[in-house]
Amino acid sequence: MRHILRFENPVLSRVISDQWKFSRIFFALVVQSVLLLVICQLLFRARLGQYADLIFLSQGVIALIIPPYLACSGLKKHFAPLLSQNLLQLSPMRLRQNGTIVVLGSQIYTFCFLILTAIVFTIFIPSISNITRLQVVQLHLIFGIYIIVSASVGGLCWRILRHEIFATEVTYLGWILLIGGVFLLAPLDRYLANLEPIIPPFLHLNPLMAVCHLLEIDVFRTPHLYELTPIPSYRVVYPPWHIVCMWQILIGICCVALARWNRV
């Protein structure tokens, strides 16, 4: 146990020290803020809801797309030398133990942004909308879970592909399938008489449904999405946000378990 602690602590310290610089954190906060505004503006133009609601929906998207890249970049930086020197096969236990630390340590920028937005939005959003402070706190709890889960998925993809860009793209593809899977129901509606029994799984696995349920956003009955999916034609109830989070946590646990498996 002492050996493991002595080995893991320097790794975590190195991961944090490489990123814990004011200039890098400031730049990361600016980039994420710009992305938040851009995504929110796109969703607002699509008329998917009120601007205050779309801010949190946009932050949910950011919590899914930024962590995989950071996780893959961190893993590449710390384990690429082992791969290039063909030493990876000699220390599989070391990779499994330290991979999780590197993945979590690489999320400093996303957690700093999460803390910043939690403070700012808790102060200002309730004063300009019907969103309560409790909802803001719950939403940021959801985003924190998504950051860890998304980073875990990216870490697993890197373990399989051993390539930063490819692993990130595969992770994005997975989120696109989970989020956009409801649009695949449109072709099925032509051949099946009743889609109501098969709609709930698509909603339970969609991470953005947690935000929609908590803020009571009926996103599929907005003008631009009404005709793209058959969901508005059925009496469908959005799954509770904690149920959606439980599914995401299960996905994260499976990814961590597979990443620590000897054969992956």
How many domains is the chain built from? 1
Query: Which is more confident, 208 or 93?
Result: 208
pLDDT value, residue 96 = 56
Question: Mean per-residue pLDDT for 137-154?
Answer: 96
Is residue 97 over pLDDT 90? no
CA dist list (Å): 108 to 20, 102, 145, 197, 244 = 8, 11, 14, 41, 25
Domain membership of residue 151 (yes or no) is yes
Instruction: Tell whether 46 is covered by a domain.
Output: yes
CA–CA separation, 62 and 55 (whole Å): 11
pLDDT beyond 50 at 36: yes
235 falls within a domain = yes
Which residue segment(s) compose the domain that 217 sits in?
2-259
Residue 264 domain-assigned (yes or no): no
Residue 223 lies in a domain: yes
Mean pLDDT for 102-114 is 91
pTM of the predicted protein model: 0.87
pLDDT of 73-86, one tens digit each? 988 887 765 554 44
What distance in Å separates the CA atoms of residue 73 and residue 83, rounded to the nearest whole number?
14
